[in-house]
Structure 1
Amino acid sequence: MAKIVRFHQTGDADVLKLEELPLQEPGEGEVRLKVEAIGLNRAEVMFRQGQYLEDPQLPSRLGYEAAGTIDAIGPGVSDFQVGDRVSSIPAFSMQKYGVYGESAVVPAYAVATYPETLSAQEGAAIWMQYLTAYGALIEYGQLQSNHYVLIPAASSSVGLAAIQITKAAGAVAIASTRTAAKKQALLDMGADQVIVTEEEDLPSRVMELSAGHGADLIFDPVAGPFLETLAQAAAPGATIFEYGALSPEPTPFPLFAALAKTLTIRGYILFEITQNPERLARGKRYVYDGLQSGKLKPILDRSFALNDIVEAHRYMESNQQNGKIVVTV
């Protein structure tokens, strides 16, 4: 038996239940993990609420990222063996798989070893954040050292990963945050500049900080009417990557700014990278190299016990965090 987190209806964090269920045997092409740590992501909150890209099949498990040890291997798996220390990559559907719990079965293609120098908590804080930022900024954005990169909602784990990747390329990382509460933390965690949007005009500040050039790449999880503001802050020929929908409001297309500046405004999701073997291989190599060199370093915010999974989700929804929220099993 193992303690597994499931929910039987969509809704607020209280729908999450810790249940005793029989250990699941891995099937063809699958491995089973004895989970040590879980990394929380905004996608899981949205999935639990029934507001994600796919609908849960109830009762549903959830969770993309876990670190642990392989304790069982299904038929057809040759790249791993029992005892391997691995973490899971968000390369599967939560309609079929979920890693919240003491045990998790996932596809073998969706696990990877991670550096021995990292703890299990750090191992559970790698793939979602770094591959999401890598895909937009490196794979598609072709980030260069002379670029200005604007990173809204920068205190999230993905936002901090984007700052680290921008700095690793020698480019300028301009973070934005709604209130001044997180400004100093963002500076301490590597941002070159931080714009507090409740106090400052974002387009004017971006133009000031870039000597009138604007942001070459914008990596935005907010959307909504904020997209018009971002378009005003963009450089000619810039690309705006929209990878989230934190705003509950509709997202109007900023036509005139897009025409005047010949902007590319692109919807982007992590699965473009993790479900394409060649892109995933390039992304994994980039992340491995960055972790080994120290240019990439997971930033952990707060740890919860598995029994406190409801409180962990509530904390994520409070938007207080700077970095990754983890659950220790």
Structure 2
Amino acid sequence: MALKKTHAAALCAALLAGGCSFAEDALFPATGTVAANQTEQAAPDAPPVMGSSGYEAVTVTPGSPTGTFVGGKAAALRGDLQSLQATLGRQNQSLQQIRNETVQDSQRYHGTVAAINARLQVGTTPGNPILTQQWNAAQGELDRITDDVLKMNRLTNEVTSSSTMAAFLLESVRAARSLSGAVDEDHRQLRILEDETNRTVVMVERLLSELTSDSIRQQQYVASEKQNLNTLALGIKNGALFAGGLGNRINASYDGASARPLASGEMPLVTIRFDRPNVNYEPALYTAIKSALDRRPNATFDVVAVSPVGSTPGQQALSASNAKRNADSVLRSLTNMNLPASRVRVNSTTSTSTSTGEVQVFVR
């Protein structure tokens, strides 16, 4: 119990220092506590392990001319198989090169992000130009990984064409065995050719399946890291580490239901008072939203622009415009924290209890 009170006091102190108030206990009954050392590192996801197999050429057995039409057909099909083998060999070389480049680009990216995280972990100045430069380098390295994925996709299309050619070649070999006018030697050569073509089909299909899986996993990885970079940029802006994007905490089974209307007298999860320029509300906002998602992964949120009641219509309109601009800023912050925009609704209202305008965030 003492640990829980100490943790709650430290949390409230951090929130109030950022110009926000947080009504955690009023919104969420205590259902358990999180250990003090249970933290989540804002490190990049481990890159997906790529396949390691490659295409090994199947030996094409030479044949002797028989002087028959079927023998000539077998010789032509044997040449087609040899040509396909050469194409697959070149494609395999491209695959191994792409894999090596992707691994090197991923290592550079992870090294750069790790350096940023290490500096943010101990704290630094907001907008540190060195970290900004490192972030730009990480973005460039992630772009190179994106280029690697594009190369992988192009190669997948090429191997798909080779797979189609291999399947067509196998059917052609089988069809040649039904042609009339063949001698026993023709059929013997065709059986050998059919076996070697079939082995080629199996190998190229396995290669295509592995290449397709690699491409899909790399695309998902790049998409995830783009979100992580957004969260990292937010940490650099504030000079402190944000423990992962809020999008990672959302239950995948969320059905997209809209938030219910506000009820009179409801207590907001967060109240951000814009009573001075450049209110540094993002660390407190992140902590509050993260805590809400920890307790209710399917939660949605209302961001409400609260403006004071002006003495004249003109003053009231100006106050409402300023409050709406502040609410839009809060919405952008939540989006940069990887909270999907579909989970947030923006409203506005007036209040006699505020004189400078504020933004209230309600959890649903």
- Give the structure-2-normalised TM-score: 0.20
Q: Which structure is higher in helix share?
A: 2
Higher relative contact order (CA 8 A, sep 6+): 2
